[in-house]
Amino acid sequence: MLFSSVTFLYYFLPIVLGIYFISPKGMKNLVLLISSLTFYAWGEPKYVVLMIISVILGYIFGILIERHRETARGKIFLTISVFISLSFLIYFKYADFFISNFNNALGMNIPLLKTVLPIGISFYTFQIISYTVDVYRGERAQRSLISLGAYISMFPQLIAGPIVRYSDISLNLKSRQHSFSMASEGVRRFTVGLAKKILLANQLGEITAIFRNSGEKSVLFYWLYAVSFALHIYFDFSGYSDMAIGLGKIMGFNFLENFNYPFISKNITEFWRRWHMSLGTWFKDYVYIPLGGNKKGSSRQMLNIFVVWMLTGLWHGASWNFIVWGLFFAILLIAEKLWLLKRLKNHSIISRLYMTLAVLISFVIFNASNLKEAVSDLGGLIGMGGIPLVSDEFLYTFKSFKAVLLISLIGATPAVKNFFLRLQSKPKAEGLLNVMEPIAITALIFLMTAYLVDGSFNPFLYFRF
């Protein structure tokens, strides 16, 4: 079930929220758990059992780890818990990738398992690991299986994040406040995220689809594709995060931000402090720092960065282009730490051009179906293969989507947000905004519903991860 679907918006969500708010305080986590499992089972009925098993194991190991925290047994239980969680992830997501590469390397013919990737497994696996590690580090284990299950399976952020740390919402699971102001803020945030998805990401996705199906490639068409896909993945994923944060607020949870206008960054280090922040902090706290971080000398730090970004690439998918994508960022981040940041510091325009070019190249690699296609696409950016500079299909596509591209470029900056903040600071304008906001939100919902009923292009890109 998609957030951007008529079924979710007009059937599932109203029913769940209605039951949720009339339920007594002690029953809200149970309602959230049941609704989350229903939401997941809607698209993955057989894999809901895997999630339930994962929740139960996380619950058991959390209590065992806490009980033996100060002994060797505690570390053993933690190791077993992490091993089991990663085993599920590796089996469903990476088994065929490893078998295929093993076959290619040794000339063997071991049959593939042909497993189907359970939706959201990368996200809820990381949440279970963070929970058990946090318990080992001193966090109190959750005594309620229902509350832990509600945290791990929580439908607002289950499918595509953000990755919510248990320590960040443990108090909310026990007791949370509900208010009209918080709910209205949640509705506003959800609507903005839905608009990002339906009105911008979906249209940008159509550009990338047109490019892939085109028989008239040109250099400028490749660059249009690169820009469109970078904006597409941003609005797709940040839109989902906005919707998750908004739904969380409606239900009394405060999820941390996941994006902070990454395209205004001056370098790749800053970009990754603004892009998919929940994933970056997860790898920092649970991989980079345990490996030694920057405490064991510069050579060890560079190796740690290399390992973290190889794993970051692999987390996104079982394909070599994702690994290359991660290592591409590792090389840039290492170069920035060693010498590049100092040289870019006083050259704002050059640093922004460098960041933009690096990000566009990275997402061309990211979106390729394999390394061969990635190399071909990168070659197309510089005119390899004798392709022309301009093609008729490029001109037609650019003219057809130029308004969407312009709005997307502006929307990827804080310009709109800053404009409304300035208006809110003026007493006369604030009253007008209070009147106009519900009207604008209602109009947006009607417009987006029309798009959904029309059956527009409507995938969520991060579902495949």
Question: Which of the following is catalytic: 68, 178, 232, 316?
Answer: 316
C-alpha span between 94 and 314 (Å, rounded): 9
Query: What is the spatial distance between Cα 87 and Cα 96, in angstroms, rounded to a whole number?
Result: 14
Q: In whole angstroms, what separates CA 306 from the centre of its chain?
A: 21
Q: Record the tokens describing residue 57, joined without a space.
A: 């194991």
- What is the distance between the alpha carbons of residues 12 and 33, in angstroms, rounded to a whole number? 14
| Identity of the amino acid at 112 | L
424, amino acid identity: Q
**Token representation of residue 162:** 């953000």
As given in the structure block, the two tokens for residue 211 are: 């490019």
In this structure, the dihedral spanned by the alpha carbons of residues 136, 140, 141 and 142, taken in order and rounded to 10 degrees, is -150
Which two tokens mark 379? 């070659």
Tokens representing 30 are: 């149970």
**Annotated catalytic residue 316:** yes
DSSP string, 206-247: HHHHHHHH-S---HHHHHHHHHHHHHHHHHHHHHHHHHHHHH
Q: Which two tokens stand for residue 170?
A: 């443990």
Query: Annotated active-site positions, please?
Result: 316
